[in-house]
Structures are given as C-alpha cells and as structure tokens.
Chains A and B, each alone.
Chain A
Amino acid sequence: MTPAPELTAAGHLPRTVRWRGLAFALSGCTAAYLAGPFVLGTFGQQILSQAFFYAIVVVTVDLLWGHTGILTFGQSAFFGIGAYAIAITRAYYSSGIPVTALALIGAMVVAALVGIAVGWLSFWDRASPIYVAVVTLALPVVFTQVILSGHAFTGSSSGLPFPVPDISIEQWYWISGGLLLLIGAAAYVFVKSDAGRLLVAIRENEERCRYLGLKTSRIKTGLMAVCGAVAALAGACYAMFANVAAPAYGDFVFGTQLVVWTALGGRGTLIGPILGTVFINYVSAVLGGNFPFVWLLLVGLIFIVVVVYLPAGLAPPVFSGALRLGRIVADALGVARVRAVASEAPESIGRDRFSVVVRPEPAGTPVLHGGSQVALELRGVSKHYGSLRALEDVTFRAHRGEVVGIVGPNGAGKTTLLRCISDGRERSAGEVIINGARIGRLPPQDGVAFGLGRKFQAPSVFEALTVGDCLRVARSYRATPSFWRRSRALELPEAAQRTIEATGLAALIDEPAGTLPHGMKQALELAMVLALEPAVLLLDEPTAGLTSTERAAIGAVLTGLAQSHGLCILVIEHDLDFVRNISSRLVVLHLGRIVADGPVSQIVGSEVVRQVYVGGGTVT
C-alpha cells in the first residue's frame, strides 16, 4: 500500500496544497468558532470548551513530536501539574485573583523545570530517540502515584474539588477558544519562522545539525520546557473549568490519547491535530455517551489504520479532497474568478522565492600573510576499539592556506581520523589543536566554535527541507535565527555561494533536498559546511558522484578558498588525479599509521605508496 499520491517522499504535503488547505481551514475554523454560541446549546459549548483545552496540549505534542520528532507520552503530566497547582492553591490557601495568577505562573515555572529535567534525562548526545519515549512514559506514571500517595491533601483517586471563579459556560467557551487560537497562532508563526525550521532539521538529521554547531540537546530541552509550561497553563484553566483536579488529567492513558489525536489529525501540520482533537472529543461526547467502549474501539482501529497506511494523518487527504471538491463546485458554477484565484494563489503564496545574497566580507577577515601559520595540529592521535588499533599515534601539522590530501587504501583509518579530529569524545588518546586552541574532549557541536567544519562521506542533508532552507539552517550558527520572522533573503558567504552556482544548485533552491540526485546532495552538503565559514575544513570524499566538470568547479572553489582566505583543508579522496590537482601535500595512511607525508610530487611516485596500494603487507 502506498501513501496517498499527494504526499512527497518525506511524507508531507507539497507546500502549495498545504498552504491553500491551511488558509481554507483557518478561516473555516475561526468562522465556526465565532458562530459556536449562536448554534450550540450549553452542552455543546461545554464539550467544545473541554476539547479546546485538550487541543492546546495537542499543539505542544505536535510541536514536540510532529515537528521535532520527539515522541512524548508525558504531556498529560504537565497538564496535571497545572491542574493540581491551581486546585491546591484555591482549596487550601486563597481563591483571590492575585494568588490564582501567581499559582498559574508558579505552575508554568514548575512545569518548565520538569521539562528541563525530562530533557536532561532524555537528550544526552547519542541517546536513542526511544529514550525520550521511556522518560515521558515514566513521567505520568510517577505523577499519578505521587497524587495518589498525597491521600486527602490531593484528594487521592477521587480528585480534589475546589472553589472556582464564577464563570459561565459561554464565557469558558470564549476563554478556551481564544486561548487555543492564540497559542495555535503563536505555534504556527514559530514553526514557520527561521528558528522553527531548526525543529524539522533536528527531526530529519540530528547529527548533521550537531556538526553544524547547533546544540540540539539544548534546543530540544528548551522546547520541552516551553511546551510543558503551555500544557500546564491549559491544565490550570481546565481544572477551574471542571471544578476539580483529578489524577486522570495527568495519567498515562491521557498522555497516549494526546499522541493518538495528534497522529489521527496529521502530525506536523498543527491544524490537523487541533481539528482532530476537537472532532474526536465532540463526537465521543455525543456518541460515546451511549456506546463508550465501541467508540473507543473504533478510535483504536482507525488509529492503527492511520499509523500503518496514512502516516501523515487524516488532515492532508481531507484537505486535498475538500480542495478538489471546491474546484469541482467552482467549475460547475463557472465562476472564473474563483478558479483563477484557486490556481494562482499557490504560486504567489506557496512559492518561497528568495534571493541569494552574498555576505559582504567582515572587516576582520583573516588575510593570509606568510602562509606558515599552523591551523591544525595533531599530536599522537589514537583510536582503539578494544585491542584493535584503528589509529595509532597520528601526528602532523597543517598550515593555513594548505590543502592536504589524505590517501590510503580502504580501512586505513581515513574517516576515523576525521571523526577523531571533529569529535573529541571519539579519541582514545592524543590532542587536536586548532589555531592554537586545544579542543579537548568536546563534542562536535562545540568543535564548530573553534572553526571546524566537516562534510560526511555519504551526503548528509535535511531531506524534507528545500535546498534554500538547508542552507539557512547551516547559517543559523553564524546568524541567530528569528523566532517569528521568515527571512526572504538567504545570506551566504562567498565560498558557499560559489559552490551552489558552480554546481547548478542555485537553480534548485526551492526543491526539497530529498529529491536531489546524489551528486547534488554532495554539493549541497559542501555548501552547508562552507556556510559555517570554517577555518579548518574536513572533507570526506567531497566529489564522489559528481561529474568531472562539477569536480573541476568544486576543486577550483576549494583551492581558491585556501589561497584567498587562508583556509586549511583536509580532504580524503580516492581519485588521485583530483587530489593531485588540488592538494599541495599528501599524507598517506596505512593500517592506522602515517607512512608518508610530503609534497604531492614526492609522494605520488614513491615506493611507499606503491607498496601500500599494490604490495599490501606491512610497510616499514
């Protein structure tokens, strides 16, 4: 079974459909919301108010899971924290407005702290994405047990009733809906902003993000804290609406329900989960009263079908179906104007045309003098796997403006060497010094600050993002992205700009990176690394899969960079001709050791190299 044809390779709707569907959905929702009290009785308003509060929490689930890929079962616990903070404050201390407001703020702060704790437990480097599911699964379990062990103080299993402010159902309808609109809109602006794009980048390829200098653990922890605070706010308001705080508000079942609603609506679309939550809760209150178990069974079955066959959720097919229907109706009525708008709108709204701007050279641009300054120094770098020695006592210096080719047969330790330079934790022994600073055992995201940039052997880009967005993410280390604005211009340093021009990527700036051919991905990743403005560039087979013209172009960019900016480049290549053309010096690795190091002309014809490649065996 293949997903619906409207989906792109990454499982997302094409931009145009998404934007148009969103515009329709948003105006429809707002109209329906405003009309609500005139159509619905008190019962309907009450159900919708409840659904609106739930939907606020679902927005946080969609931010965490849908956009950032953090599967969380624990948002209910934050909701519960908010509910109990208000309930305990009003039941035992004071039900005055200032104290309640204070309790609200306090609840959000506590929830944020719990969010930070969850982040600390789950988002250490190299933690599997399952760990956060484990921790967030534990969170509501712990929450309910704590509430139950509070006995009379927390009301135990029957919940804690408390005096609530005098607010009518209709007023609650406006409050809950208004809060949902506000938070939904804020979330929407955020995910569309330059900073919001980082969330998708983390979901798509966290390792690449780290090597671009982004402290992903910190970003995810921050997001967890904010989402926790928002869920606590919803929980606090919900408790006042419901007159009681109950353990079920923060339990594991509610936590998983939030994920179910998000998946059904369409993860990563914001509007889908919101509508899904409101719809499911409304229907289950109307129908579920009579057949609660059948209804739950039905939701479970639909959930399985959606997860298996429609991983993008129900929102995308429903939206595109509605659009198609709208178009058919418009055709039938012969309304030319509507058609024109419907077919042209995506070109103007959806297309994200932005211009590439070459970043002017900053005043302090390093200029090469002399050419003998050491940019990179390795002292006794070793890497052991148990008794296997992948690298043994590798020591050499590379200077500014130098292009050093690292050659050697398969298994010589070339890629391991680059990894040991860029990730301090990988080294078993030895030191790496960049421009005079020891990088110690720091992880790759900190290595970027020293001026390191690494391109991986297999192209590593953000498949779901466009070429332009990939480059923007790469720039966010240098230029802090905005949380609400989406910039139109893409500012790139000259080197990155030259790379995308030379390889024809500039014309594909709006294409999703996942659809690019292999060679183009290579070029894109190189441009992303160059966008970091590194001082030491580590390249692992940068031109594999490129045509010879593209190779020559990239070679020219690289040598030009080394000469004009004093960049130090380490390049692993199997194509000896390419290496010969761009390198000034060769380092030959064999079985984890340096066996030769010198000018290209001297090394290429040497006996050592011949022996390493042809003769095999040990070289002494």
Chain B
Amino acid sequence: MTQFLDIVTFAGELFIVAIGLLLVFGILKIINLAHGAFLVVGSYATVVATRLNWDPWLALLVALAVGIALGALVERSVLRPIAARPLDTILATWGLNIVIVQLITLYFGRQMQFAKSAITGAVTLGGLTYSEYRLILLLIAVAVGAMVTVVMRTTQMGLIARAVIMNEELAQGLGINTRLVRFVTFCLGAGLASLAGALLTPLVSVHPLMGVPWLINAFMLVLVAGVSLGSLAVATLLLGGAQVLVSSYGNPVLGGLTIVILSVVILRFRTPA
C-alpha cells in the first residue's frame, strides 16, 4: 500500500514537472531545455519567501508569477528571433539554463537551501501513516491537469491552442495571432515549471543544479507522451512506477535510470503515428 502511494505521488511530481514542458512542446514545437532552470527559480522563490517570513502558500503564487515573468522575457528576447530554427532553440534554451543557474549560484552560492513547508506531518489512512504533503501534492497535480484539460476542451482559448497544435500555418491563415498563442503558452509553461519547483521544495534538496535530473526525466516523458495530457498521465504512472519499483527492489542508483532507458526503448519500437 505504501508502495502504491509512493508510485502515485511520484507520478504526481513527475506530472506537474512535465506538464509545462508538454504544453510548450505541443504548441511551440520546441524542446525547452531551460525548463529545469525555471524549476530551480521556483524553488529559490520559496527560499526567498521563507527568508522574508512569508506564508508558504503565498510563496507558491510568487513562484508562479516569477516563472511567468521570466518566461515572457525569454520568449521575447531569445525564442522569437529563432522561431524558424527549431533545432537551434534546443541550444538557446540550454544556454539560458546555464545563465540562470550561474546567476543563482552567484547570488546564493552552491550550498543547499532551506524553505518552510506549507504542511508538515503525516496522515493516517486505514492504519497506514503517510506524508500529508505528498498526498496534497498529488491532489494539486491532478487539479492542475484537470484545469488544463478543461481549458483546452471547453474554452475559446483552448480551441485556438488545439488549432495551433494541429496546424499552425492554417491557424495563422484563419487570422489567429499564433505569435500571441506561442507567447502565452511559453509564459504558462515557464510559470508551471516554476510552480512545480516551488511545490517540490519540501521534498527535495534545493541547490542550483537540482533542475537537471528533473529536466531529463520530464523531457523523456514528454517525448513518449506526445502532445496528449492523458498519455502524459499514463506515462508518468507507468514509467514513474517502474522507477519506484526498481529503486526499492533493485539498485537505487540504477533506479534513477529507469525512466530514461525505458523511454529510449519505447521511442525506438513505437510505430510512428
């Protein structure tokens, strides 16, 4: 039972980290390697909030806002000029990752940081004690996923976003401001990454290089999932679950590779749609 909770909560963590990357991949058709850095920014936002003695819940909103602002800046200054060269955006966003991580290192140093958690303690469910925060995190992940799904399915904005995913040129021809759609999506993606970082802070150690392993896992999951939120949920559950099982029954160091290796193999054998 604990294992089951471990799997679903870990899948929730993966989902909330990957969802921003998936949105950006679906609509801008680029792989944003600065996603990990946005996550780090969100974590450090909560660190700052703790230092200022702010409420941890407020810190989440601050992280979201900082992420969105950063995304806006990056989209305008770096991504827009190279929109026509998708492979180069991989490089440019990696450069951004270097710059952001170095800026954080310069200011905060390389050591681990501490941030206050909104919820501490555990709940008891039918004789089983489990971390309350991890369960709340899972609920938040489900809520974010549901919210994005509802927006995509029912609103005008979601309709436009889906149109851009399917055929950007046609959407442009129909008078949709695809530039704006790309801009908004990227801001949102960055905001979600930052929010994910803030949410993960109580569970992980906060330091400037914390983003890379999350980035790599999220990158793999998004490529396996394609552009569907449903597939992303399934992928995080299956691959994240495999990782939890390998880590607990096998070797924890190799367990960290489960998602990467399984994704590469799945990508090789999946028939292209």
Asked if B223 contacts A130 (CB within 8 A), the reply is yes
Q: Which residue of B lies closest to A150 (CB)?
A: B253
With an 8 A cutoff between CB atoms, is B105 at the interface?
yes
A 311-332 to B, binary, CB cutoff 8 A, 1 in contact else 0: 1000000000000000000000
Q: Which residues of B contact A145 (CB under 8 A)?
A: 253-254, 256-257
Known contacts A145-B253, A297-B102; is A307 also within 8 Å of B216 by CB? Answer: no
Q: Give 1 or 0 for each of B81-112: 1 = CB within 8 Å of chain A CB.
A: 11001011011101110110011011000000
Q: Which of A567-598 contact B (CB under 8 A)?
A: none
Q: Which residue of A120, A129, A131, A294 is within 8 Å of B267 (Cβ)?
A: A131
In the complex, chain B residues 240-273 whose Cβ is within 8 Å of any chain A Cβ: 251, 253-254, 256-257, 260-261, 263-264, 267-268, 272
Cα distance A293–B31 in the bound complex, in angstroms: 26
Instruction: Give every chain A residue within 8 A of B31 (Cβ-Cβ).
Output: 130, 133
Q: How many of B's residues come within 8 Å of A, CB to CB?
A: 36
Q: Does B219 sit within 8 A of A, measured CB to CB?
A: yes
Supposing A145-B254, A304-B96, A304-B99 touch, asked if A309 and B268 sit within 8 A by C-beta, the answer is no
Chain B: minimal CB distance from A424 (Å): 16
Number of A-B contacts (CB under 8 A): 99
Instruction: Say yes or no: is B144 at the interface (Cβ < 8 Å to chain A).
Output: no
Among residues of B, the one whose C-beta sits closest to the C-beta of A120 is B268
Hey, which chain A residues are within 8 Å of B92, CB to CB? 304, 307-308
Secondary structure type dominating chain B contacts? helix
Complex Cα gap A199–B102 (Å):
36
**Interface membership of chain A positions 291-315, coded 1 if the CB is closer than 8 angstroms to chain B and 0 otherwise:** 0011011011101100111010000
Within 8 A of A (CB), among B132-179: none
Chain A 267-306, CB within 8 Å of chain B: the 1/0 string?
0000000000000000000000000011011011101100
Q: With A130-B31, A307-B91, A308-B82 given, is the CB distance from A142 to B102 under 8 Å?
A: no
Of B94, B106, B254, most A-chain CB atoms within 10 Å: B94
Contacts of A146 in B (CB 8 A): 254
* B78 close to chain A: CB less than 8 A: yes
Residues of B with Cβ closer than 8 Å to A? 31, 78, 81-82, 85, 87-88, 90-92, 94-96, 98-99, 102-103, 105-106, 212, 216, 219-220, 223, 251, 253-254, 256-257, 260-261, 263-264, 267-268, 272
CA distance A616 to B27 in the complex (A): 39
Kindly state whether residue A164 has any CB partner on chain B within 8 Å: no
- 22 residue pairs A–B, Cβ–Cβ below 8 Å: A1-B81, A121-B267, A130-B223, A133-B31, A138-B261, A141-B257, A252-B212, A259-B94, A293-B102, A293-B105, A297-B103, A300-B95, A300-B96, A300-B99, A300-B102, A301-B95, A303-B98, A304-B95, A307-B92, A308-B82, A308-B88, A309-B81
| A134-148 interface with B by 8 A CB criterion | 134-135, 137-138, 141-142, 145-146, 148
Q: Does A372 contact B (CB under 8 A)?
A: no
B268 contact set on A, CB distance < 8 A: 120-121, 124
**Judging by beta carbons under 8 Å apart, are A259 and B253 in contact?**
no
Tell me whether A234 is interfacial, beta carbon within 8 Å: no
A263 at the interface (CB under 8 A from B): yes
